[in-house]
Each structure stands twice: as C-alpha cells, then as structure tokens.
Amino acid sequence: MLLVKILKKIGTDESGSTAVEYGLIASLVVIASIGAFEAVANENTGLWAVVKTKVTASMGTS
C-alpha cells in the first residue's frame, strides 16, 4: 500500500517538468543555431572563392 502511494506521488509530481521544458527549448535553439552557422559558413566560403577567382584573374596569374 505504501509503495502505491509513493508511485502515485512520483507520478503526479511536476516540479521537474519546467526544467525539462527549458532543456528542450535550449536544445532546439542550439540545433537551429548550428544550422544557421553552417549556412553562413557555406556562404562565406563561396564568397571567398569568388574573391580569389577575381583577384587571380585581375593579376593574370593562375
């Protein structure tokens, strides 16, 4: 009987749920940030490739 009361109390306890929700939100923000950083890095790499091509062409060297 005591075990049933303890399990019911644990099952209805919501004190840790807010921390779990904040953890999930933080993990989603991190995942979105990683995706955004990757997109910026790819764009930056492409930009420097264009700059290199144009500088090389204007200098007349390969």
pLDDT band for position 61 (cuts 50, 70, 90) = low
Distance separating the N- and C-terminal Cα atoms of the chain? 84
52: helix, strand or coil: helix
Identify the domain containing residue 45 by its residue range: 1-60
> What is the average pLDDT score of the chain?
84
The share of the chain scoring above pLDDT 70, in percent, equals: 87
Mean pLDDT comparison of 1-5, 11-15, 37-41, highest-scoring range: 37-41
If one counts the domains in the chain, the total is: 1
pLDDT band for position 27 (cuts 50, 70, 90) = very high
- 8 Å CB contact between 38 and 44: no
pLDDT at 26: 92
